[in-house]
Homo-oligomer: A and B are copies of this chain.
């Protein structure tokens, strides 16, 4: 798919069809995530692919905005892994860039996703730690349900706001 078509039609999908997503596709999305830039190329990320139905269905109890996970066959939990890295304070940026790559790749494949935030909300992080056996040094960051959108329209969005652009110095609000 053409780059700008992917970029302009990516949107949060919250209604999914009951269809499988192959392991090959999931790996392709994670490979896309791993192509993201990171501070000093430190790649401070890890990924948990969740297919266990009981675990997927248990998520809404720990994440109030992730009820749509009950409709999908698979979700990807992006985790931060800053321990021992050269730029540990940049792991959130590393993981965010990786997550955005993952969402865009999903769109390119015709898959729907939604970025549901975990970090830095303590309750959601704790819930994920318990459910997915995450050790202390790994930080649950964002949970991405992945599936086939019920409505495949993927309408174009525009969010361009010229008032948020400044020249040389910051002027205004």
Contacts and interface: CB of A to CB of B under 8 A. Distances in A.
Given A35-B10, A89-B121, A170 B132 contact: yes
B45 A168 contact: no
A155 interface: no
20 contacts: A1-B3, A2-B2, A3-B3, A3-B5, A3-B6, A4-B105, A27-B165, A34-B159, A39-B117, A43-B161, A46-B170, A48-B165, A49-B166, A49-B167, A51-B167, A52-B168, A81-B164, A89-B121, A93-B99, A100-B101
Given A3-B6, A31-B160, A170-B79, A165 B93 contact: no
Given A3-B108, A133-B171, 17 more contacts: A3-B3, A4-B105, A11-B37, A30-B165, A35-B157, A37-B100, A43-B164, A47-B166, A48-B165, A48-B169, A49-B165, A50-B168, A55-B168, A93-B99, A104-B104, A133-B169, A135-B170
| Contact-residue bracket for chain A | 35 or more
Copies of the polypeptide in the assembly: 2
A7 interface: yes
Contacts of A31: 160
